[in-house]
Structure 1
Amino acid sequence: MRLPVYLYGHPVLRKIAAPVSSDYNGLKELVEKMYETMYDSEGVGLAAPQIGLSDRIVVIDADPVKDSFPECEGRKLTLINPEIEILDGETVVRDEGCLSLPGLSERVPRVENIRLKWVDENFEPHEEVITGFLARIVQHECDHLEGMLYIDHISMIRKQLIKGKLNNIIAGKTRCDYPVKYAPKSRK
Protein backbone atom coordinates (compact mmCIF):
# COMPACT_ATOMS: atom_id res chain seq x y z
CA MET A 1 0.00 0.00 0.00
CA ARG A 2 1.46 3.31 -1.09
CA LEU A 3 1.43 5.99 1.54
CA PRO A 4 1.16 9.69 0.71
CA VAL A 5 4.38 11.69 0.85
CA TYR A 6 4.10 14.79 3.02
CA LEU A 7 5.19 17.91 1.17
CA TYR A 8 7.15 20.99 2.15
CA GLY A 9 5.29 23.18 4.59
CA HIS A 10 3.76 20.31 6.55
CA PRO A 11 4.70 20.68 10.25
CA VAL A 12 5.73 17.02 10.66
CA LEU A 13 8.74 17.66 8.39
CA ARG A 14 10.13 20.15 10.93
CA LYS A 15 9.78 17.99 14.05
CA ILE A 16 12.66 16.08 15.59
CA ALA A 17 11.71 12.42 15.30
CA ALA A 18 11.42 10.20 18.37
CA PRO A 19 13.56 7.10 18.93
CA VAL A 20 11.96 3.78 18.06
CA SER A 21 11.83 0.96 20.62
CA SER A 22 11.97 -2.76 19.89
CA ASP A 23 8.28 -3.10 20.81
CA TYR A 24 7.18 -0.65 18.07
CA ASN A 25 3.85 -2.04 16.90
CA GLY A 26 3.81 -3.04 13.21
CA LEU A 27 7.40 -1.99 12.48
CA LYS A 28 8.10 -4.59 9.79
CA GLU A 29 4.84 -3.84 7.99
CA LEU A 30 5.57 -0.11 8.16
CA VAL A 31 9.05 -0.65 6.72
CA GLU A 32 7.52 -2.65 3.83
CA LYS A 33 5.04 0.16 3.15
CA MET A 34 7.86 2.71 3.25
CA TYR A 35 9.86 0.76 0.65
CA GLU A 36 6.77 0.43 -1.56
CA THR A 37 6.07 4.16 -1.25
CA MET A 38 9.71 5.00 -2.04
CA TYR A 39 9.78 2.74 -5.10
CA ASP A 40 6.44 3.98 -6.42
CA SER A 41 7.64 7.57 -5.99
CA GLU A 42 10.93 6.76 -7.75
CA GLY A 43 13.04 7.80 -4.78
CA VAL A 44 16.21 6.25 -3.38
CA GLY A 45 15.41 7.09 0.23
CA LEU A 46 12.45 7.85 2.47
CA ALA A 47 12.28 8.91 6.10
CA ALA A 48 9.29 8.34 8.38
CA PRO A 49 8.52 12.08 8.73
CA GLN A 50 7.92 12.11 4.96
CA ILE A 51 4.95 9.81 5.51
CA GLY A 52 3.69 11.75 8.52
CA LEU A 53 5.36 9.77 11.32
CA SER A 54 7.76 11.50 13.65
CA ASP A 55 9.80 8.33 14.24
CA ARG A 56 13.49 7.61 13.62
CA ILE A 57 13.02 5.24 10.66
CA VAL A 58 14.68 5.50 7.23
CA VAL A 59 14.64 3.22 4.21
CA ILE A 60 17.21 3.47 1.42
CA ASP A 61 17.75 1.59 -1.82
CA ALA A 62 20.60 3.28 -3.65
CA ASP A 63 20.96 0.61 -6.36
CA PRO A 64 19.12 2.67 -9.04
CA VAL A 65 22.03 5.17 -9.12
CA LYS A 66 24.80 2.53 -9.27
CA ASP A 67 25.76 3.37 -12.85
CA SER A 68 26.84 6.86 -11.79
CA PHE A 69 27.90 5.94 -8.25
CA PRO A 70 29.33 2.40 -7.98
CA GLU A 71 29.39 2.54 -4.16
CA CYS A 72 25.58 2.44 -4.30
CA GLU A 73 25.35 -0.94 -6.04
CA GLY A 74 23.24 -3.38 -4.05
CA ARG A 75 22.94 -0.98 -1.09
CA LYS A 76 19.56 -1.41 0.54
CA LEU A 77 19.38 -0.23 4.14
CA THR A 78 16.68 -0.07 6.78
CA LEU A 79 17.90 2.38 9.41
CA ILE A 80 16.25 2.48 12.81
CA ASN A 81 17.58 5.12 15.22
CA PRO A 82 20.56 5.97 12.98
CA GLU A 83 23.48 7.98 14.33
CA ILE A 84 25.97 9.71 12.04
CA GLU A 85 29.53 10.65 12.91
CA ILE A 86 31.21 12.97 10.41
CA LEU A 87 34.68 11.73 9.52
CA ASP A 88 37.56 13.75 8.13
CA GLY A 89 37.33 14.27 4.43
CA GLU A 90 36.34 16.66 1.75
CA THR A 91 33.00 18.33 1.29
CA VAL A 92 31.47 17.89 -2.14
CA VAL A 93 28.67 19.96 -3.67
CA ARG A 94 26.12 18.00 -5.70
CA ASP A 95 22.51 18.36 -6.82
CA GLU A 96 19.91 16.96 -4.43
CA GLY A 97 16.20 16.56 -4.78
CA CYS A 98 13.57 15.31 -2.37
CA LEU A 99 10.18 13.66 -2.66
CA SER A 100 8.87 16.27 -0.19
CA LEU A 101 10.06 19.09 -2.47
CA PRO A 102 8.80 17.98 -5.90
CA GLY A 103 10.15 19.75 -8.95
CA LEU A 104 13.13 21.23 -7.12
CA SER A 105 16.80 20.42 -6.89
CA GLU A 106 19.64 22.43 -5.43
CA ARG A 107 23.38 22.10 -5.08
CA VAL A 108 24.09 21.00 -1.52
CA PRO A 109 27.47 20.65 0.21
CA ARG A 110 27.96 17.42 2.18
CA VAL A 111 30.87 15.47 3.55
CA GLU A 112 31.90 12.33 1.68
CA ASN A 113 32.83 10.15 4.67
CA ILE A 114 30.64 9.20 7.63
CA ARG A 115 30.42 6.51 10.25
CA LEU A 116 26.89 5.22 10.58
CA LYS A 117 25.47 3.30 13.54
CA TRP A 118 21.94 1.90 13.45
CA VAL A 119 19.74 -1.06 14.16
CA ASP A 120 17.76 -2.81 11.46
CA GLU A 121 14.08 -3.79 11.58
CA ASN A 122 15.06 -6.84 13.69
CA PHE A 123 16.93 -4.54 16.09
CA GLU A 124 20.26 -6.06 15.10
CA PRO A 125 23.01 -3.44 15.56
CA HIS A 126 25.21 -2.30 12.66
CA GLU A 127 28.14 0.07 12.25
CA GLU A 128 29.81 1.00 8.99
CA VAL A 129 31.95 3.68 7.38
CA ILE A 130 30.03 4.94 4.36
CA THR A 131 31.50 7.07 1.60
CA GLY A 132 30.62 8.91 -1.57
CA PHE A 133 27.10 9.36 -2.85
CA LEU A 134 25.73 6.75 -0.46
CA ALA A 135 26.95 8.93 2.41
CA ARG A 136 25.03 11.83 0.86
CA ILE A 137 21.82 9.80 0.67
CA VAL A 138 22.19 8.73 4.31
CA GLN A 139 22.84 12.31 5.48
CA HIS A 140 19.89 13.63 3.46
CA GLU A 141 17.49 11.06 4.93
CA CYS A 142 18.83 11.43 8.48
CA ASP A 143 18.37 15.20 8.19
CA HIS A 144 14.63 14.49 7.97
CA LEU A 145 14.82 12.87 11.42
CA GLU A 146 16.22 16.15 12.78
CA GLY A 147 13.47 18.27 11.22
CA MET A 148 15.78 19.48 8.44
CA LEU A 149 15.47 19.57 4.66
CA TYR A 150 18.22 19.88 2.08
CA ILE A 151 17.22 23.49 1.43
CA ASP A 152 18.43 24.27 4.96
CA HIS A 153 21.95 23.73 3.60
CA ILE A 154 21.74 26.26 0.76
CA SER A 155 22.47 29.97 0.82
CA MET A 156 19.89 32.59 1.72
CA ILE A 157 20.18 33.97 -1.82
CA ARG A 158 19.25 30.57 -3.31
CA LYS A 159 16.34 30.30 -0.86
CA GLN A 160 15.07 33.68 -2.03
CA LEU A 161 15.37 32.58 -5.65
CA ILE A 162 13.22 29.48 -5.07
CA LYS A 163 10.78 31.12 -2.66
CA GLY A 164 7.99 31.21 -5.25
CA LYS A 165 8.34 27.47 -5.93
CA LEU A 166 8.34 26.73 -2.20
CA ASN A 167 5.21 28.85 -1.75
CA ASN A 168 3.54 26.94 -4.60
CA ILE A 169 4.22 23.65 -2.79
CA ILE A 170 2.74 25.04 0.43
CA ALA A 171 -0.29 26.37 -1.47
CA GLY A 172 -0.93 22.98 -3.06
CA LYS A 173 -0.13 24.22 -6.57
CA THR A 174 2.42 21.49 -7.25
CA ARG A 175 1.40 18.24 -8.88
CA CYS A 176 3.13 14.89 -8.45
CA ASP A 177 2.99 11.45 -10.00
CA TYR A 178 2.68 9.96 -6.50
CA PRO A 179 0.16 10.42 -3.68
CA VAL A 180 0.95 13.45 -1.51
CA LYS A 181 -0.30 15.27 1.54
CA TYR A 182 -0.08 19.04 1.43
CA ALA A 183 0.47 21.29 4.42
CA PRO A 184 -2.71 22.09 6.31
CA LYS A 185 -4.21 25.41 5.31
CA SER A 186 -3.64 28.07 7.94
CA ARG A 187 -6.72 29.65 9.40
CA LYS A 188 -6.52 33.39 9.77
Structure 2
Amino acid sequence: MKKEILLLGDKRLYDKSQEVIEDELESINEIVGDLHDTLMGFRQAYGVGRAIAAPQIGQFKRLIYMHIDKPVVIINPVLSFFDDEMMEVMDDCMSFPNLLVKVKRHKRCKLSYINEKWESCSIVFEGDLSELIQHEYDHLDGILATMRAESVKDLFIKQ
Protein backbone atom coordinates (compact mmCIF):
# COMPACT_ATOMS: atom_id res chain seq x y z
CA MET A 1 0.00 0.00 0.00
CA LYS A 2 1.33 3.45 -0.93
CA LYS A 3 2.34 5.31 2.22
CA GLU A 4 2.91 8.96 3.02
CA ILE A 5 6.58 9.89 2.84
CA LEU A 6 7.87 11.74 5.90
CA LEU A 7 9.04 15.20 4.89
CA LEU A 8 12.00 17.34 5.94
CA GLY A 9 11.22 18.79 9.35
CA ASP A 10 9.54 15.63 10.66
CA LYS A 11 11.57 14.79 13.78
CA ARG A 12 11.10 11.05 13.19
CA LEU A 13 13.47 11.21 10.20
CA TYR A 14 16.32 11.77 12.66
CA ASP A 15 15.64 8.53 14.59
CA LYS A 16 18.02 5.61 14.22
CA SER A 17 16.43 2.41 12.91
CA GLN A 18 16.57 -0.98 14.61
CA GLU A 19 17.98 -4.15 13.11
CA VAL A 20 15.56 -6.68 11.69
CA ILE A 21 15.56 -10.10 13.35
CA GLU A 22 14.72 -13.25 11.40
CA ASP A 23 11.44 -13.74 13.29
CA GLU A 24 10.23 -10.43 11.81
CA LEU A 25 10.67 -11.54 8.21
CA GLU A 26 6.94 -12.04 7.59
CA SER A 27 6.10 -8.51 8.78
CA ILE A 28 9.04 -7.15 6.78
CA ASN A 29 7.45 -8.51 3.59
CA GLU A 30 4.46 -6.23 4.22
CA ILE A 31 6.77 -3.23 4.68
CA VAL A 32 8.60 -4.17 1.46
CA GLY A 33 5.26 -4.10 -0.37
CA ASP A 34 4.55 -0.65 1.07
CA LEU A 35 8.03 0.56 0.08
CA HIS A 36 7.51 -0.74 -3.47
CA ASP A 37 4.10 0.93 -3.83
CA THR A 38 5.38 4.19 -2.34
CA LEU A 39 8.46 4.25 -4.60
CA MET A 40 6.35 3.56 -7.70
CA GLY A 41 3.88 6.26 -6.67
CA PHE A 42 6.73 8.75 -6.25
CA ARG A 43 8.10 7.80 -9.67
CA GLN A 44 4.69 8.39 -11.20
CA ALA A 45 4.38 11.80 -9.53
CA TYR A 46 7.95 13.06 -10.01
CA GLY A 47 9.47 10.90 -12.76
CA VAL A 48 12.38 9.87 -10.49
CA GLY A 49 13.11 7.46 -7.65
CA ARG A 50 15.38 4.44 -7.50
CA ALA A 51 15.33 3.46 -3.82
CA ILE A 52 13.61 4.21 -0.53
CA ALA A 53 14.50 3.50 3.09
CA ALA A 54 11.91 2.20 5.57
CA PRO A 55 12.22 5.23 7.92
CA GLN A 56 10.91 7.45 5.12
CA ILE A 57 7.51 5.78 5.54
CA GLY A 58 7.70 5.71 9.34
CA GLN A 59 9.02 2.13 9.68
CA PHE A 60 12.19 2.34 11.76
CA LYS A 61 13.81 -0.89 10.67
CA ARG A 62 17.16 -1.26 8.89
CA LEU A 63 15.52 -1.94 5.54
CA ILE A 64 16.06 -0.44 2.09
CA TYR A 65 14.09 -1.21 -1.07
CA MET A 66 15.87 -0.50 -4.36
CA HIS A 67 14.27 -0.90 -7.77
CA ILE A 68 16.34 -0.04 -10.81
CA ASP A 69 16.27 -3.01 -13.19
CA LYS A 70 14.70 -5.35 -10.66
CA PRO A 71 13.64 -5.18 -7.01
CA VAL A 72 16.35 -5.59 -4.38
CA VAL A 73 15.43 -5.97 -0.70
CA ILE A 74 18.26 -4.91 1.60
CA ILE A 75 17.98 -5.94 5.25
CA ASN A 76 20.46 -4.92 7.98
CA PRO A 77 23.00 -3.43 5.55
CA VAL A 78 26.63 -2.81 6.46
CA LEU A 79 28.49 -0.29 4.34
CA SER A 80 32.26 -0.33 3.78
CA PHE A 81 34.59 1.74 1.63
CA PHE A 82 37.59 0.69 -0.45
CA ASP A 83 39.44 4.00 -0.28
CA ASP A 84 39.03 7.69 0.47
CA GLU A 85 38.23 8.77 -3.11
CA MET A 86 35.26 11.11 -2.96
CA MET A 87 32.94 12.71 -5.49
CA GLU A 88 30.75 15.77 -5.26
CA VAL A 89 27.11 15.21 -6.16
CA MET A 90 23.78 17.01 -6.13
CA ASP A 91 21.74 14.83 -3.82
CA ASP A 92 17.95 14.75 -3.90
CA CYS A 93 15.52 12.97 -1.64
CA MET A 94 11.88 11.90 -1.55
CA SER A 95 11.64 13.56 1.86
CA PHE A 96 12.44 16.94 0.25
CA PRO A 97 11.47 16.49 -3.40
CA ASN A 98 12.09 20.08 -4.52
CA LEU A 99 15.51 20.51 -2.92
CA LEU A 100 19.01 19.56 -4.07
CA VAL A 101 21.93 19.32 -1.67
CA LYS A 102 25.57 19.44 -2.75
CA VAL A 103 27.39 16.72 -0.77
CA LYS A 104 30.55 14.65 -0.95
CA ARG A 105 30.18 10.89 -1.10
CA HIS A 106 32.56 7.97 -1.51
CA LYS A 107 33.04 7.06 -5.16
CA ARG A 108 32.97 3.31 -4.42
CA CYS A 109 31.46 1.21 -1.66
CA LYS A 110 30.56 -2.33 -0.73
CA LEU A 111 27.21 -3.17 0.77
CA SER A 112 26.80 -6.40 2.75
CA TYR A 113 23.22 -7.27 3.68
CA ILE A 114 20.59 -9.95 4.14
CA ASN A 115 17.99 -10.44 1.40
CA GLU A 116 14.29 -11.28 1.73
CA LYS A 117 15.15 -15.02 1.94
CA TRP A 118 17.47 -14.28 4.89
CA GLU A 119 20.56 -15.03 2.78
CA SER A 120 23.82 -13.07 3.11
CA CYS A 121 24.64 -10.99 0.04
CA SER A 122 26.96 -8.21 -1.03
CA ILE A 123 27.11 -5.73 -3.88
CA VAL A 124 29.85 -3.33 -4.95
CA PHE A 125 28.61 0.07 -6.10
CA GLU A 126 30.40 2.81 -7.99
CA GLY A 127 29.50 6.33 -9.06
CA ASP A 128 25.84 7.33 -8.89
CA LEU A 129 24.78 3.98 -7.39
CA SER A 130 27.42 4.37 -4.67
CA GLU A 131 25.93 7.78 -3.89
CA LEU A 132 22.41 6.34 -3.91
CA ILE A 133 23.12 3.54 -1.46
CA GLN A 134 25.05 5.86 0.88
CA HIS A 135 22.07 8.21 0.85
CA GLU A 136 19.60 5.44 1.71
CA TYR A 137 21.95 3.96 4.32
CA ASP A 138 22.14 7.38 6.00
CA HIS A 139 18.35 7.32 6.45
CA LEU A 140 18.74 4.20 8.61
CA ASP A 141 20.97 6.20 10.96
CA GLY A 142 18.70 9.26 11.02
CA ILE A 143 21.03 11.29 8.79
CA LEU A 144 19.64 13.43 5.97
CA ALA A 145 21.61 14.84 3.03
CA THR A 146 20.92 18.33 4.38
CA MET A 147 23.06 17.39 7.40
CA ARG A 148 25.97 16.50 5.08
CA ALA A 149 26.00 19.88 3.30
CA GLU A 150 29.15 21.84 4.07
CA SER A 151 27.19 25.11 4.28
CA VAL A 152 23.73 26.55 3.63
CA LYS A 153 25.11 27.67 0.26
CA ASP A 154 25.03 24.02 -0.78
CA LEU A 155 21.19 23.91 -0.78
CA PHE A 156 19.35 24.53 -4.07
CA ILE A 157 15.68 24.64 -5.06
CA LYS A 158 14.88 22.46 -8.09
CA GLN A 159 13.56 24.48 -11.00
Among all aligned residue pairs of Structure 1 and Structure 2, give the percentage whose two residues are the same amino acid: 28
Structure showing greater Rg: 1
Q: Give the partner amino acid of 1:95.
A: M
Correspondence for 1:28: 29
- C-alpha contact 2:103 2:150 (8 A) present in aligned 1: no
Structure 1 residue aligned with 2:46: none
Equivalent residues, number:
151
The equivalent of 1:177 in structure 2 is none
Partner-residue secondary structure (3-state), 1:49: helix
Report the alpha carbon displacement of residue 54 of structure 1 after superposing the two structures with TM. 1.1
Aligned to 1:14: 14
SS in 1 for 2:37: helix
* 1:133 and 2:139 are equivalent in the alignment: no
Match of 1:57 among 55, 63, 66: 63
Task: Specify the alignment match of 1:48 in structure 2.
Answer: 54
Per the normalisation by structure 2, the TM-score is 0.87
Any idea what the Cα deviations from partners look like across 1:104-154, whole Å, max 9, x if unmatched?
012221111111100011111102222111111100000000100011111
| Structure with greater strand percent | 2
Alignment of 1:36-185 (within 5 A): 36-42=37-43, 43-61=49-67, 63=68, 74=69, 76-158=71-153
Which 4+ runs in 1 deviate beyond 4 A? none
- For 1:158, what is the secondary structure of its paired residue? helix
How much does 1:77 deviate? 2.0
Gaps of 5+ in 2: 44-48
TM-score, length-scaled by structure 1: 0.75
Deviation string 1:11-67 (CA, Å, 9 cap, x unpaired) is: 221011000011114211210220110111122111111001111010112x3xxxx
Q: CA deviation at 1:158?
A: 2.5
Q: Is the 8 A contact 1:12 1:53 kept in 2?
A: no
| Contact 2:31/2:54 (<8 A) preserved | no
